Amino acid sequence: MSDHELDPLPYDYDALEPHISEQVLTWHHDTHHQGYVNGLNAAEETLAENRESGDHGSTAGALGNVTHNGSGHYLHTLFWNNMSPNGGGEPDGELADRIAEDFGSYEAWKAEFEAAAGAAGGWALLVYDPVAKQLRNVKVDKHDQGALWGAHPILALDVWEHSYYHDYGPARGEFIDAFFEVVDWDDVADNYDNVVPRFE
């Protein structure tokens, strides 16, 4: 059984201001993300105990908790690393070429991603689909509803209300615009480079 831990943010809590406030990052990372780590560890402990005892009365619930909390932990970790105080702009290099190839243009990709972010009840993700061998945008509710099997997220935007209500109120579109001011395209490109060679 793994003992999952919450990594520190890769920047100071106030580093993304004025786009994302220090208060939101503190709550979101230290309390909210920590809750998913705790939930994942608790669910895995329950499964280990059930395997040892042979009593699987609580196994189905624990399996669901692994999926929910594990997805929450993994996506939040990606989300933090996808942002930087030196972010913004547009991708370049191979990632930019691939976005243009798979979506027609960066502008077409961004418009589709923003539509996903505006409609999602959880996350907008840019993923690499190794079956179709292409990038896709995915609209995910909660942490795992609407996910595509086998796809590898390389860019994650959390659009749960706890991500933006303190800073933007119900103006989710303003938060989405602000996210693009801090996207670390170098990190996204690294994620792309790490995934694609395994499948193409």
Is 76 annotated in a binding site? The answer is: yes
CATH of the domain spanning 22-81, picked from 1.10.10.10, 1.10.287.990, 1.20.1250.20, 3.40.50.300: 1.10.287.990
Q: Does this chain's domain 22-81 share its CATH topology with 93-198?
A: no
pLDDT for the residue numbered 79: 98
CA 58 vs. chain centroid, Å, equals: 28
The CATH architecture to which 93-198 belongs is: 3-Layer(bab) Sandwich (3.55)
pLDDT for the residue numbered 1: 55
Pairwise CA distance, residues 26 & 13, whole Å: 6
Q: Where are the domains of the chain?
A: 22-81, 93-198
Query: What's the pTM value of the predicted model, to 2 decimals?
Result: 0.95
pLDDT for the residue numbered 135: 98
Mean pLDDT by 10 residues, the chain (200 residues): 90 98 98 98 97 97 97 98 97 97 98 98 97 97 92 97 96 98 98 86
- Residues in contact with 136: Cβ distance below 8 Å, sequence separation at least 6, in sequence order: 102, 126, 127, 128, 129, 148, 151
